[in-house]
Amino acid sequence: MTAPPGPPRPPGPSREDVTRGDTILLGLFLACWALTVLTYARVVDLAGSLPLTLYSYYGVAVCLGWTFGIVYVRRTWGFPRPLRRRFLLVYYLGPPAILGLLRAMDPLADQRAAPFVPLYAFGVFSILFLVPVTMKFPRPLR
């Protein structure tokens, strides 16, 4: 005989669904977004503290997109669709905060010379994030 089914699962993530790693990543992303907004509001001055070439900046966008696309797929495997959407919000809109922060740390002259670089980097991130998300993978062995 089987055990009777338990109470219905409430909507939203439960304690078993959200791990420490998710919480740490969310905190990192929120801190990066806050620092990026403060930098663009000219409350904090980070310009010139980390000069990156455009090649290395786009390389970071590629790595973030591919990595967090794979992490999102692996992390949400088997979750119901509404719960996957909530995780998508964190894993898709969180890592571009790192890109914004890195761009804010470029020298001011470089930022003014190429103002659309963060938008292009978000496009690169988005494309490489969507590659693993849209592919059909076989069920992983556990």
What residue spans define the domains of the chain? 20-134
The whole-number pLDDT of residue 21 equals: 87
Q: 81-93 and 117-134 are packed helices; what angle lies between their axes, rounded to 10 degrees?
A: 150
The whole-number pLDDT of residue 6 equals: 60
**Predicted TM-score of the model (pTM):** 0.82
The whole-number pLDDT of residue 41 equals: 93
- Give every CB contact of residue 63 below 8 A, 6+ residues apart in sequence: none
The whole-number pLDDT of residue 135 equals: 87
Q: Which stretches of the chain drop beneath a pLDDT of 70?
A: 1-16, 139-142
The whole-number pLDDT of residue 141 equals: 59
Instruction: Write the Ramachandran bin of 19: left for phi over 0, alpha for psi from -120 to 50, otherwise beta.
Output: beta
The whole-number pLDDT of residue 25 equals: 92
Rounded to the nearest 5°, which phi and psi values hold at 118?
-60, -35
